[in-house]
Structure 1
Amino acid sequence: MQIYSIITGSGKYIPEIVVKNEEFFNRTFTNDQGEVLAKPVPEIVRKFQEITDIQERRYLSSEYNTSDMAFFAAEKAIASAHIDPETLDYIIVAHNFGDILHNNVKSDMVPTLASRVKHLLKIENPDCVAYDLPFGCPGWVQGIIQANYYIKSGDAKSVLVIGAENLSRIADPHDVDSMIYSDGAGAVVLQAKESSSPIGLLCHKTRTDTLNEAHFLKMDISYHPEFADDTLFMKMNGRKLYEYALNTVPQLIKETIEKSGVPLTSIKKVLIHQANAKMDEAIIQRTFKLFDLPLTDSSRIMPMTISKLGNNSVATVPILYDMIIKGELEGHQINSGDHLVFASVGAGMNVNAFIYLVP
């Protein structure tokens, strides 16, 4: 008998404020030189939707913060797992900007979001260790990988892994890329399970490229030369990021699948971070091409939520999992015996993936 890591519960928090593309029609968009874009804004927005497939996104209401979303998702995951929160050995919260007040765009990370979540959960157990994981969009996937190490080593039996992000408050309103970003949180409980045959998390792989790629995503002031102050916003080199993702993600997924010993034809779902529908389609097509296999309909294997939820960074993959496992994503389901790929790419630049066999 060996110890494996299995997901026993999941939860999510999707903010209630829906922001449709039409709400950007009155924006003034500028380029990185501070020049107002020449094309009419409605035309810019329509082209944006054509490329990304984003039609609307969710924004967090002013009374809540990132740690609140993390707490809401955590509560649901704990209830779903039917465990006493006092038995948790670790709480890992993946995020990138901490808490950001709606009227004060500054990152607040003291105390850590994990400590704030543990406080909100009213956990007294001092042996429940809470810490944050800033790792770009792949943060939640990396949190699962770290939790698996704790479980495999015998250091933990139960770990709560949360991905929560509030990108709407860190986006430059004069940057076209601001239409990509959204808010949300997803969480799972990962627990130890003895088994005579492999189950749960089978294998994983992560890479970090920094020599030439470290600053494809970075913080900088507004593109608009008359912006009121020197507030720092998230900035993205979209073209370079797109090229990086296509050159690294398919290969890393291939290597992870091969490491698991599971044939590609046995993979039922690829749950991938979603920032651009066209990019994700190119990634899955290139992955199949690396295996010399055709893929005529990616929709059956790669579920998508980006059209309605946008890109909520570390929350994307756990929200996607929770929606499927709870029957909330039409046309998709996860069953016992299914092999899944979880994968992400983002700031750092970081790429990671793990193979999961549903118990």
Structure 2
Amino acid sequence: MSSPQTYRSRITAIGSYVPERRLTNADLEQLVDTNDEWIVQRTGIRERRICGPEQYTSDLCIGAVQNLLDRYPVTLDDVELILVCTSTPDFTFPSTACLVQTHFGIPQTTAWDLCAACAGFVYGLNVANGMIASGVHRKVLVIGAEALSKITDYTDRTTCILFGDGAGAVLIERDTDGGGPASFLAYTGGSDGSGGKHLYNAYTAKSWSGQELAGAAGKLVQNGREVYKFAVQTVPRGVEELLRQTGLTAAEIDWFVPHSANLRIIESVCEKTGIPLEKTLHTIEQFGNTSAATIPLAIDQAVRAGQLKEGDRLLLFGFGGGFVYGGLLLQWRALPH
């Protein structure tokens, strides 16, 4: 019996969008007991982008997809799956992906949301690649988007300094260049649900293992110390696993794209993995922590700046609420003009 045929996939277009409104450290000084020096020293963040009152995650998604369409010679009519990676959907249902589908009038497409917090976009890329590799789909639209300002408690000085809003979108298609190099090289992922009590948004649950939950209903709650500990232990192990799978060394990675949670986390991970900070793509300074949107935003900024070259190896790594984590090693292919 012959083995089922598998297909390669590649990214063919990328786009991003952030709201116009800026929330600077100086603005936060007017809200809580904090200051610019304290925020920069501990997080590296200088400003964030914040949604307007009538702007939601679906609007950010639509902005990112429209940016993608404006920049590349691609169409959406034959997209077979829309996957929106978000922890801040407009509604529980309908999915944010369905709102994107109806806005662009995409026919005959599956549409669903994926909730994996700050690892969401990496999870989404892996799902899309799997769908294409198995022959289920030929063309997938993956979006990482968050309107975290909607669930941020602006009276909590430990969390409100961190989070912002934004979206990034990529089109992933079956690679018709059969002789070309593979784009998706390796994946690793996992979870530790016992860490959920350290980073959560409680809509309905009132307790965790019998203990009453802290924080305002519907607002994000984070134990920063525990999240830091999880990240600096888990990400280096995940990087090591990706390198083991591919037989590569840290020196052979061209660009490291970690989730932009906190610059101090990124610095620690770089030190532990041996990947120079100069090879790191992040958006922490100007956009803050945008959860599932940080990685696509960082990649798109590098594309716009002309930093990514054909054949560059990108190591993506997301981590966050759950606790969950996911890493992906990509070989960059030049995008069509």
| TM-score between both structures, scaled by the size of structure 2 | 0.89
Question: Which residue of 84, 94, 99 corresponds with 1:116?
Answer: 99
Q: What does residue range 243-282 of structure 1 map to in structure 2 within 5 Å? A: 243-282=229-268
Residue 89 of structure 1 deviates from its aligned partner by 1.1
Q: Is the 8 A contact 2:281 2:299 kept in 1?
A: no
Look up the match of 1:171. 152
The 2-side partners of 1:216 and 1:195 are apart by 45
Q: What does residue range 131-280 of structure 1 map to in structure 2 within 5 Å? A: 131-176=112-157, 177-193=159-175, 194-196=177-179, 198-210=181-193, 212-219=194-201, 231-280=217-266
Look up the match of 1:358. 332
Question: What secondary structure sits across from 2:197 in the alignment?
Answer: coil
Q: Is the 8 A contact 1:163 1:314 kept in 2?
A: yes
Look up the match of 1:333. 307
Q: What does residue range 80-119 of structure 1 map to in structure 2 within 5 Å? A: 80-99=71-90, 108-119=91-102
Look up the match of 2:68. 77
1:321-344 deviations in Å (ceiling 9; x for gaps): 1111121xxxx7000011111111
The 2-side partners of 1:356 and 1:111 are apart by 32
Residue 109 of structure 1 deviates from its aligned partner by 2.3
- 1:152 counterpart letter in structure 2: A
Question: What secondary structure sits across from 1:143 in the alignment?
Answer: helix
Residue 73 of structure 1 deviates from its aligned partner by 0.8
Q: Is the 8 A contact 2:164 2:288 kept in 1?
A: yes
Residue 196 of structure 1 deviates from its aligned partner by 3.1
Q: Is the 8 A contact 2:15 2:68 kept in 1?
A: yes
Residue 2 of structure 1 deviates from its aligned partner by 6.6
Q: Is the 8 A contact 2:51 2:165 kept in 1?
A: yes
Question: Which residue of 5, 12, 17 corresponds with 2:9?
Answer: 5
Question: Which residue of 348, 351, 357 corresponds with 2:322?
Answer: 348
| TM-score between both structures, scaled by the size of structure 1 | 0.84
Confirm whether residue 302 of structure 1 aligns to residue 280 of structure 2: yes
Question: What secondary structure sits across from 1:352 in the alignment?
Answer: strand
The 1-side partners of 2:72 and 2:119 are apart by 24
Look up the match of 1:38. none
- 1:138 counterpart letter in structure 2: A
Residue 174 of structure 1 deviates from its aligned partner by 1.2
Q: Which runs of 5+ in 2 are unaligned?
A: 204-214
1:33-91 deviations in Å (ceiling 9; x for gaps): xxxxxxxx245x53222110111111012232110110111122244442221111110
1:170-229 deviations in Å (ceiling 9; x for gaps): 11111121110000000000111143353211111111111x3122211259xxxxxxx9
Residue 18 of structure 1 deviates from its aligned partner by 0.9
Residue 262 of structure 1 deviates from its aligned partner by 2.6
Q: Is the 8 A contact 1:202 1:260 kept in 2?
A: yes
The 1-side partners of 2:94 and 2:18 are apart by 24
The 2-side partners of 1:230 and 1:217 are apart by 13
Q: Which runs of 5+ in 1 are unaligned?
A: 29-40, 100-107, 222-228, 289-294
Look up the match of 2:30. 26
Over the aligned positions, Cα root-mean-square deviation in angstroms equals 1.9
Residue 169 of structure 1 deviates from its aligned partner by 1.5
The 1-side partners of 2:282 and 2:313 are apart by 18
- How many residues are matched? 316
Residue 347 of structure 1 deviates from its aligned partner by 0.5
Q: What does residue range 119-130 of structure 1 map to in structure 2 within 5 Å? A: 119-123=102-106, 125-126=107-108, 128-130=109-111
The 2-side partners of 1:260 and 1:89 are apart by 30
Look up the match of 1:225. none
- 1:323 counterpart letter in structure 2: Q
Confirm whether residue 48 of structure 1 aligns to residue 59 of structure 2: no
Q: What is the identity percentage for the equivalent residue pairs of Structure 1 and Structure 2?
A: 28
The 2-side partners of 1:242 and 1:230 are apart by 23
Look up the match of 1:315. 293
The 2-side partners of 1:252 and 1:51 are apart by 24
1:264-323 deviations in Å (ceiling 9; x for gaps): 2221000111111011110111112xxxxxx6x512x10232111111110110011111
Q: Is the 8 A contact 1:199 1:358 kept in 2?
A: no
54-63 or 194-203: bigger deviation: 194-203
Look up the match of 1:16. 20
237-246 or 80-89: bigger deviation: 80-89
Residue 258 of structure 1 deviates from its aligned partner by 1.6
Confirm whether residue 62 of structure 1 aligns to residue 62 of structure 2: no
Q: Is the 8 A contact 1:216 1:240 kept in 2?
A: yes
The 2-side partners of 1:179 and 1:90 are apart by 35
The 2-side partners of 1:204 and 1:42 are apart by 39
Q: Is the 8 A contact 1:59 1:183 kept in 2?
A: yes
1:143-172 deviations in Å (ceiling 9; x for gaps): 000000011001111110001100112111
- 1:356 counterpart letter in structure 2: L
